[in-house]
Amino acid sequence: MELEYYTKESDSQTVYRMKSKPRGYCLIFNNHDFSVARKEVFKLHRIKDRNGTDLDTEALKNTFSSLHFEIVRYRDNTAKKIHEVMKSYQKMDHSNMDCFICCILFHGDKSIIYGSDGKEVSISELTSYFTGLNCPSLVDKPKIFFIQACQGDNYQRGISIDTDSKQEDDYLEMDSSSQKRYIPDEADFLLGMANVNDCVSY
């Protein structure tokens, strides 16, 4: 398995190294039981348990196991526990790993997820544990987050597609004066969301 990306300067291909075994950790946070949240947090009194989430967890486990990741599963975690787990992996030495993956299957709202206790957890705060400054052994390595959680109450509209579209390759303009010596603190992140902001997740 190889992850590829391109740089503007040379249009040459650069490939992330994906040869270690295990490739890295794949954390799967699976919150099914929200009974505590229904009791403790008034605005979540109608929130339901996430039936079907165990099937998604099993599919993720099978997929990333076949890609040689070390799977670590967590179930029905409070907001505090999620932070504790993230901090523990932040402090680990990932030097012999090539990648880090975190899958989060929760209820949520705009830019946040809910722990099993109904307390809010900022998505940006979770990813911040693994920036270059906070987790140096993951610098230049992919940090991939898959989040299956609502990000609001609206429903995303569907549209019909009649033809395929062709897109030109566009690149973001960058300040070339700093490219050779520095990389952004939040480089090499991929955040995959099940939906867009303000909308529910199916």
Catalytic residues: 107, 150
Side by side, the strands of the sheet bearing 143-148 are 70-75, 24-30, 99-105, 143-148, 189-193
Residue in 37, 38, 49 with CA at minimum distance from that of residue 117: 37
Q: How far apart are CA 193 and CA 145, in angstroms?
A: 8
Question: Residue 44, SS3?
Answer: helix
CA distance 174 to 180: 12
Among 187, 173, 80, which residue's Cα sits nearest to residue 141? 187
Residues in the chain, total: 202
Cα–Cα distance for residue pair 22/68, rounded to 1 Å = 5
CA angle 37/43/47 to nearest 5° reads 50
**Number of other CB atoms surrounding residue 6 within 10 Å:** 12
